[in-house]
C-alpha cells in the first residue's frame, strides 16, 4: 500500500474503484452479499473476533456501502484476520456469506500480487513449492524446529534421524523423506496442466517471482522426462 509522508493513502481513487468493480464482477458476489440486518450474529460467532479487531459484520456493511474507499482500506490488513472457517455463513439469518466475500477480495489481492498477499503467503512458500511441483503438501523433511515453533520442545527430536524413523513406520513410505507419497510423472504433468489452465502458476509468479522460477525449473524437468 502506498502512503505519502503524512500517512495518507496515495492510491488513486480510480484504482480503488477498479478493485471494487472486479469484486462485484465475481460470479459469487451476488450470492454472498445479500441484505444485512446488522444483527451481529456473524461477529458473535466469529472465532478470530475473540483475538483481533475483526468483524465479518463490518466487512459486509462496508461492502453494502459500495464505497471503494472503505473497501480498499480493508484489503491491506483487515480481511487477512479472517480464518476462513465460514461460521458466519453458517449462522447468518440473511444467508449472507461474509467469509466468501472476503475470499473474493483476497483472491483479487493474490492475483494482483498486492503487498498484503505477499506478506501473508511468504510463510507458505515451501508448502506452495511441494504442492505445485510434486503434488504433495507436507513432507517429512519440512518438519523442522524453525518452522514449527508451536509444536513444542520435542520438535527437534521429531525432526532428527528422519530416515530411521520412516523405516519404523509399518507401511510403505518410499523410504524417502522429501516426499510423503509417490506421484507418477503422468499425474504430475496433469497437475501442471491444471495449474496452468486455472492460473495458479500465474498467481505464484505475481506473488513470489523467485519461488516461481524454482517451480518452473522442476516443471520443465518433469515435462521433458
CB of 102 to other proteins, least distance (A): 17
> Is the torsion defined by CA of 106, 109, 113, 117 positive or negative?
negative
CB of 77 to other proteins, least distance (A): 18
Secondary structure class of 9 (helix, strand, coil): strand
x-or-dash string of contact with other proteins, 79-108, rule CB under 8 A: ------------x-xxx-------------
Rounded to whole angstroms, the Cα distance separating 37 from 96 reads 10
Please list every residue from 34 through 63 that binds other proteins, using CB under 8 A. Answer: 37-45, 49-50, 55, 57
Asked if 96 and 60 count as a contact pair (C-beta separation under 8 A), the reply is: yes
CB of 4 to other proteins, least distance (A): 32
Question: Among residues 23 and 46, whose Cβ is nearest to other proteins?
Answer: 46
> Is the torsion defined by CA of 129, 133, 137, 139 positive or negative?
negative
Rounded to whole angstroms, the Cα distance separating 43 from 40 reads 5
Q: Tell me the number of residues near other proteins by CB under 8 A.
A: 17
Residues found near other proteins in the complex (CB under 8 A): 37-45, 49-50, 55, 57, 91, 93-95
Amino acid at each position: 500500500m502506498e502512503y505519502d509522508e503524512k500517512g495518507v493513502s496515495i492510491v488513486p481513487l480510480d484504482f480503488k474503484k477498479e478493485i471494487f468493480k472486479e469484486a462485484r464482477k465475481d460470479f459469487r458476489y451476488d450470492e454472498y452479499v445479500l441484505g444485512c440486518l446488522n444483527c451481529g450474529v456473524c461477529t458473535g460467532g466469529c472465532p478470530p473476533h475473540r483475538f483481533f479487531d475483526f468483524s465479518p459484520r463490518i466487512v459486509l456493511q462496508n461492502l453494502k456501502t459500495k464505497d471503494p474507499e472503505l473497501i480498499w482500506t480493508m484489503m491491506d490488513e483487515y480481511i487477512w484476520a479472517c480464518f476462513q472457517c465460514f461460521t458466519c455463513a453458517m449462522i447468518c439469518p440473511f444467508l449472507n456469506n461474509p467469509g466468501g466475500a472476503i475470499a473474493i477480495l483476497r483472491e483479487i489481492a493474490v492475483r494482483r500480487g498486492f503487498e498484503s498477499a505477499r506478506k501473508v503467503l511468504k510463510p507458505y512458500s515451501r508448502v506452495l513449492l511441494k504442492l505445485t511441483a510434486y503434488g504433495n503438501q507436507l513432507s517429512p523433511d519440512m518438519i523442522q524446529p524453525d518452522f514449527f515453533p508451536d509444536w513444542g520442545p520435542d520438535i527437534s527430536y521429531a525432526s532428527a534421524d528422519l530416515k530411521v524413523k520412516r523405516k519404523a513406520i509399518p507401511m510403505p513410505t518410499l523410504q524417502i523423506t522429501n516426499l510423503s507419497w509417490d506421484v507418477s510423472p503422468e499425474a504430475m504433468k496433469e497437475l501442471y496442466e491444471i495449474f496452468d489452465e486455472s492460473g495458479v502458476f500465474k498467481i505464484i509468479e505475481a506473488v513470489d517471482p523467485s519461488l516461481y522460477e524454482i517451480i518452473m525449473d522442476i516443471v520443465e524437468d518433469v515435462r521433458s522426462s
